[in-house]
Chain A
């Protein structure tokens, strides 16, 4: 088996806020994106999931850790490798409207990655762009229009087309359907499924919406306040979540939640500010199972079942029956 296509190792991202202070938006996150899979990254707003995507793309500077492309450190790339990397990893942004330059036509915007990379002559580039626009199901009379003349769904199709023109290996979708209404969400999700096959894509799909992620993803990582708290296959996560936070997210999703667990978890309050994260387990302020120990020791992400890891100090006590272990004492 070959290694992961794109991987993050202990990546941290910090943003300066005022004098000599900074906020840690992403705190030692590791992710492996395997060729051909769809990895879902889920979390509330403020969890740092979008920053993870930007760090992977090289759009924000990384304070710690390594991003690897086919096993090689991206930081050490020369101009040529960097270009290959940036051709291979493309992003579809959240807001389909603001992601398109209002002063450029759809065709110009979609063609632009090829212009920047200086591929072929203008005619070829236009042909590639037109092909991509056709693949995403945008009628050809839209090519000469400006973003404000298109509907939200059409704009997001154009954004996807722009991400496809370089023939990428990886598509990073950052909340790519969140700004659309439900009917359109389904349309775009199906489109992504189709394109994944046609273009042989690997997808990192970021969302706050578990039902969307579980529809698309093979595996899911759950983020909370800059940390990954649970990693599992979609099936395993939905069937037997091993973290109170994931359970809380699941219980808010009646359609996908297997209610046999019989436990309903309600999150209290808002996600704390990453400027002053709580000590110990980041989730302890809102976790109904939090104990004294949770406020002191920060749990590590440990593999509890094969391919299923969780970062919870009380995982044995809370989920002992699911994982076939009994409480130690």
Chain B
């Protein structure tokens, strides 16, 4: 039962990070300028109202006990209630989360499809003009703000060619097919930039891998270049790839927040933006929390696959 043991080890070693990360989320509400209760209820709130809010937030208790009760609630799915709508924040988040997750997954596929082959080819042809062309292209790709690329895609493919719906997508629940179609352009906007990042990272990992003695031995044995590059060197680079993908998930979720705003998609990103405009601090906090949990889970998966892939780590 190696897998179980490995998963167990990884989970245990992730716990301190989880505690600290959630503590950072918790401390966000301490950043609310002035009295949080006043900030939430407005300047004209009655004293009773303020007292109730303080009670709700547990502002009268010591910090650590506030944190403990907050974290306890958070992990049992209670992220509080929205001060604007009175709705359960978890319900709000759960309603918005699927779209963001689908968008991020689609974007990740785009990024891998674009970035992996180009990175490998660039490494194979390292220091030729073709490599230079690819890497310069990738550097330019990284430089493009993904949300601006989204706007460009809207202008070309939605407004001029009309192939895809423009901003203001259909909700996933109403018409899944149309909603997915509406996710193609944002996924491209995110994924192409992500692909450029992956290309550069894969290239440097592969260049390193191709210069190992191990690969040189294969070359000396007379293996075809193709088999060396795509089979042996690539397999040898599987550990850096896991890291690269893990990193990319974090980047894509961050990018999704902004791209959702451009495309008017109702994921957790636009939820955070709406909450900002309405000073709905609990919702902002919840979105940050959920984003961190997703990244931590991704890191956990990367960590587990690391240990399973690498026979040296036991």
Judged by CB atoms under 8 Å, the answer to whether A and B touch is no
A residues neighboring B (CB under 8 Å): none
